[in-house]
């Protein structure tokens, strides 16, 4: 009678024989070549194996590894997917190979972006996306990189791809909104920023962009309301304040406009645009009041001294702001002073009775045309 140990040994030998019997000679040869780091020969054997034995999960997996060595990412993924469809046996190894190569390419792209090598970064991120098309990060960084080099259609394509994976990815939504802004597709900006605010009602950039989009669409009432909301979240934001003041100006709400422009001047008295706009607001108030006085005269009513003094006060208030704007503009070569500002200053001086200065600025307006 055989001992139990002898029987066990025979059983183990049987399993070993069965294992090698299940492995094709092509795969066995390929493994030997892989151990020798001879991937060209290994790939030759594995190509034969997958052709002859299309249901061999290991052959497909190993050929995928060979394609990774050759950086043939499309074929790599084809072989890996076939292997996984046949059996989950090599799932961990496949994930490891994809992750290792993806991280290498992605990190290389980030390093190049940090060194302002955007074209090089695009190559790396594109490769990362090819290695693992199911990861969204490479598409997002591709969107950022393409936007940097003004390839806006490609940037839009990649941000859109991110949203296919992650519909609420705020970076992709904001990136896409910025692209639509540059393309002047303001309806799309409104749609995207509303979505962002559904995710986070306190998103400072989203509400500011939404206000600007309404502004550019000519929806002044909605823009004003949104600027007010934006300033609650971004108190003191100079751009938002300026834009809200400008909308009040366009709506002939001059007192509100002047108050807001003056908050900017309190922080920066050298703000050319704010000085100019306050001066123009006072001139516009003078024009409106002058029309009222003309209508009053035409109706046979008396224009009082108080009326005249009030009209004069608007011109008087406009002068220091317009003078300041001219002073700032003439001292800064980067500011292109419009002839209108000289003309407006001339109008203000003529109406307060200083003809000499009025004619001086009318002359400057002509020279600056």
Domain ranges of the chain: 254-369
Structure token digits, residue 112? 């190049």
Question: Would you give the distance in Å from CA 225 to the centre of its chain?
Answer: 24
Query: Considering just the CA atoms, what is the radius of gyration of the chain in Å?
Result: 36
pLDDT at 149: 95
Q: Name the average pLDDT for the chain.
A: 91
Phi-psi region of 2 (alpha: psi -120 to 50; beta: other; left: phi over 0): beta
d(CA 259, CA 135): 51
Task: State residue 22's pLDDT score.
Answer: 62
Residue in the block written with tokens 């306050």: 278
Mean pLDDT value of segment 147-172: 94
- Tens of pLDDT, residues 324-344: 999 999 999 899 888 999 999
User: What integer is the mean pLDDT of 248-275?
Assistant: 95
> Is the confidence at residue 13, as pLDDT, over 80?
no
pLDDT at residue 306, as a whole number? 95
Task: Tell me the mean pLDDT in the region 38-54.
Answer: 95
Instruction: Dump the DSSP string for 211-224.
Output: HHHHHHTT-HHHHH
Higher pLDDT, 13 or 143: 143
Note the pLDDT tens digit of each residue in 180-209: 999 999 999 999 999 999 888 888 888 888
Summarize the confidence of residues 312-316 as an average pLDDT.
96
Tell me the CATH number for domain 254-369. 1.25.40.10
**Average pLDDT estimate for 152-171:** 93
pLDDT at 285: 97
Q: What letter would DSSP give residue 319?
A: H
* Sequence-ordered list of residues with C-beta below 8 angstroms from that of 135, at least 6 positions apart, any chain: 102, 128, 129
User: Does residue 335 contact residue 276 with C-beta atoms inside 8 Å?
Assistant: no
């Amino acid at each position: 009678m055989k001992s139990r140990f002898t029987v066990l040994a025979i059983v183990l030998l049987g399993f070993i024989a069965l294992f090698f019997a299940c492995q094709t000679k092509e795969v066995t040869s390929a493994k030997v070549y892989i151990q020798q780091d001879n991937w060209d020969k290994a790939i030759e054997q594995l190509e034969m194996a997958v052709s002859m034995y299309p249901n061999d999960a290991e052959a497909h997996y190993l050929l995928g590894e060979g394609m990774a060595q050759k950086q043939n990412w499309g074929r790599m993924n084809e072989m890996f997917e076939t292997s996984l469809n046949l059996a989950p046996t090599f799932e961990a190894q496949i994930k490891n190979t994809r992750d290792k190569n993806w991280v290498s390419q992605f990190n290389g792209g980030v390093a190049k972006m940090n060194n302002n090598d955007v074209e090089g970064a695009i190559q790396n991120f594109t490769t990362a996306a090819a290695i693992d098309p199911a990861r969204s990060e490479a598409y997002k960084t591709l969107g950022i990189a393409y936007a940097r080099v003004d390839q806006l259609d490609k940037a839009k394509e990649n941000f859109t791809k991110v949203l296919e994976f992650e519909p609420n990815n705020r970076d992709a939504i904001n990136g896409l909104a910025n692209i639509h802004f540059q393309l002047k597709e303001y309806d799309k900006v409104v749609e995207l920023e509303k979505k962002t605010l559904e995710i986070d009602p306190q998103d400072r950039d989203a509400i500011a962009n939404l206000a600007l989009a309404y502004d550019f669409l000519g929806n002044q009432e909605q823009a004003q309301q949104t600027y007010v909301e934006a300033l609650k979240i971004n108190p003191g934001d100079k751009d938002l304040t300026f834009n809200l003041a400008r909308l009040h100006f366009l709506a002939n709400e001059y007192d509100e406009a002047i108050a807001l422009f003056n908050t900017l001047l309190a922080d920066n008295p050298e703000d050319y645009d704010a000085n100019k706009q306050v001066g123009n607001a006072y001139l516009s108030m003078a024009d409106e009041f002058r029309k009222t006085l003309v209508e009053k005269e035409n109706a046979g009513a008396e224009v009082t001294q108080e009326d005249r003094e009030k009209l004069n006060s608007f011109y008087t208030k406009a002068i220091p702001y317009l003078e300041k704007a001219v002073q700032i503009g003439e001292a800064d070569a980067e500011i292109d002073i419009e002839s209108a500002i000289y003309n407006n200053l001339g109008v203000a001086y003529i109406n307060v009775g200083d003809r000499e200065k009025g004619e001086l600025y009318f002359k400057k307006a002509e020279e600056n045309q």
